Amino acid sequence: MDHHASGPPPSAVPNLRRVLVPLALAQFICSFAGSNMNVMITDISQDLDTTVQGVQVAITIFLLVMAALMIPGGKLTDIIGRKRCFVIGLSVYGVGALISALSPGLGTLILGNSILEGVGTALLIPPVYILTTLYYTDLTSRAKAFGVISALGGVGAAAGPLIGGVITTAISWRAAFIFQVLVIAIILILSRNLTDPLPPDPSRSFDGLGAALSAAGLVLVVLGILAADNNLWLTAALITAGLVVLLLFFVSVRAKEKAGREPLLSTALFRNRTSNLGLVTQNVQWILLLGSSFVISAYLQVEGGYNAIQTGVIFTAATVGLLVTSLLAEQLAKRYAQRTLIIVGFLGTIAGIALLLLLVRQSSSVVACGPGLLLIGLGLGTMLTPSVNVVQSSFPEKLQGEISGLSRSISNLGSSLGTAIAGTILVAGITTTPARAYALALASLAALGLIGLVAALRLPRHPTGKVTLLNTVALRHSPAGDHGDQAPTAS
C-alpha cells in the first residue's frame, strides 16, 4: 500500500508558519464577532430604529445558526475539501459582515450577521482544526499551533468587547463590521498558501436526515439555554425536546451504520474514552470563560458604573494571562503531559474565581479584580490547547471532519451555557441582593469547574502517543479507521 497516496509528499507541504497565520486569524475573527456585539446593542437599536430586544434576537439567531450547522459543516470538509470549505466559509462570512455594516434595518442585519456570518462560521471553523491536525503531525508542534489558535480565539472572545467598544465609540458600530470585512480579506489573501494535505472525496455521502435531526436538536437545546433567564419551565421543555430529537438522531446514525451506509457522525466518536473526557473539559472551559466574563462585566458596569471601554481595559489582566500561557503551549507540552496541563488549568481557574470573590469582597477598588482575572486567564490558557489537542489527536484522518464539527459544537454549547447560567442566577437575585447574586453566580461557575477537573483527573495517565499524517492515512484503510476503538490518543 502506498502510504502517500492520500496526501502530498513532505516537500509539498507549505511553510507551516505561513499556514498557521490565516487559520489563527480566522479563529480570532469568529471569536471577536461572538463577543463584541454585546457592547453595540444600544447603538445598533437606536440607529436602526429598533429595540434592544430586536438586536438580542439577531445575536440569538447567530448562535442558533452556528449550533445547527457546525456538525454538517465539519462533514462537508471531507466531501468538498478542507481548503475549499475554509475559503467558501470566509467568503460567505465576509459578505455577511459587509451586509451588516450597510444594514438599513433589523431584517438586513439579521440576514448579514445572524444568517450569513453564522453559516460562514460553521463552514470555516472545522477546517481550522482539521488542517492544523493534519499539518502538525507531532504532539509538541501541534500543541504550539493549537496554542496560537487558542490564544487568538481567547483574545478575540475576551478583548472583543474592548475592541468593539473602542471602534463603536470612536467611529460607529458599522465600522466594527467593516473591521471584520478587512480581516476576512487579509485571511483570504494569506490563505493562498494553504494546500489540502488530503484530497476531497466527493463519493462520500451526506446524511441529510442526520443533518436535519442534529440541527433541530441542537437548536432546541441552545434555545432552551438562552431562555434560562426568562422562563425555567420553557427552558426545561425546550431542552427536553432537544434531547429527544438528538436521541432520534443517534437512532438514525445506528440504523445507517447497521445498513452499511455512512451517517453524519460515526459512533466511533463516542467510543473513545479519552476524547469523551476531553470534550467534557472543552465544554466546561468555555462555560468558565464566557460565564466569568459575563458576570464580571455585569458587575463592573452595573455596580461600578464603568463603560464598555473601561470594562475591557480591566479585563486586560485575563487576556494577558490567557495569551501568555496559550503561546507557551509548545514548551509546556514538551515538559508536561496534556492531562497534567488540563488539571493545572482547572485548578488555576477555580483558584482565580475564589481569589476574585475574596478580594472584591474585601475591597471595592476595581484593582481588586486584577489578581483573580489574571489567574483565571492563566488557568484557561494553560488548558484550552491541551483539551483541543487531546480530542483532535484521538482519531485518524477519516474522522477528523466529524470530530472537528462535534468538538466545535460542544464548545459553542459551553459558551451559551456559561452566559445562560450566570445570567439566570443574576436575574433571579440582582433586584434584591445584587452583591450576593454576583457572588453566587461566580461560585456556581467554580462548582462547574470542579466537574471539568474531575473529567481531567480521569484522563489516561499514559496514552498511546502521537498521531502522524502517515499513520492517519494508513488508518483510513484499516478497521481502526472505521471503528475508532484502536485510534491513537494524545499524550
CATH number at residue 105: 1.20.1250.20
Find the domain containing 184 and state its range.
Answer: 10-206+264-483
pLDDT at position 87 is 93
Decide which of 20 and 92 is more confident: 92
Banded model confidence at residue 111, pLDDT cuts 50, 70, 90 = very high
Which of 52-56, 68-72, 246-250 has maximum average pLDDT?
A: 246-250
Quote the number of domains for the chain.
2
- In this structure, are 188 and 226 located in the same domain? no
User: pLDDT tier at 215 (50, 70, 90 boundaries)?
Assistant: confident
Greater model confidence, 305 or 95: 95
The answer on 427 and 301 residing in a single domain is: yes
Give domain status of residue 379, yes or no: yes
Q: Are residues 386 and 334 in the same domain?
A: yes
For the segment 105-110, the average pLDDT, to the nearest whole number, is 90
- The confidence band for 270, taking pLDDT boundaries of 50, 70 and 90, is confident
Same-domain status, 290 and 246 = no
> Both 108 and 200 in a single domain?
yes
Among 263, 282, 309, the domain boundary falls at 263
Q: Is residue 490 part of a domain?
A: no
Is residue 5 in some structural domain? Answer: no
Same domain, residue pair 333 and 185: yes
Lowest mean pLDDT among 32-41, 195-204, 256-265, 431-440: 431-440
**pLDDT > 90 in the chain, percent:** 16
309 falls within a domain: yes
1 lies in some domain = no
**Of residues 139 and 190, which shows the higher confidence score?**
190
Taking 90 as the threshold, does the pLDDT of residue 156 lie above it?
no
Kindly state whether residues 280 and 362 are assigned to the same domain.
Answer: yes
Shared domain for 123 and 242, answered yes or no, is: no
298 located within any domain: yes
Same domain, 378 and 438: yes
Domain-embedded: residue 488 = no
Q: Looking at residue 471, what is its pLDDT? A: 37
Last-in-domain residue among 263, 279, 300: 263
Higher pLDDT, residue 346 or 338: 346
> Residue 372 burial by CB count (10 A; 0-12/13-18/19+): exposed, middle or buried?
buried
Residues 373, 338 share a domain: yes
Query: How confident is the prediction for the chain on average, in pLDDT?
Result: 78
Residue with the bigger pLDDT between 230 and 441: it is 441
Least confident among 128-132, 135-139, 242-246: 135-139
pTM: 0.74
Same domain, 43 and 165: yes
Domain end marker among 263, 292, 309: 263
Query: In this structure, is residue 2 part of a structural domain?
Result: no
pLDDT tens digits, one per residue of 203-213: 777 777 878 88
Tell me the per-residue pLDDT of 164-188, one tens digit each, with 9 for 90 and over.
Answer: 778 888 888 899 899 999 999 999 9
**pLDDT score for 351:** 93
pLDDT on residue 229: 62
Q: Are 156 and 258 within one domain?
A: no
Between residues 184 and 272, which one has the greater pLDDT? 184
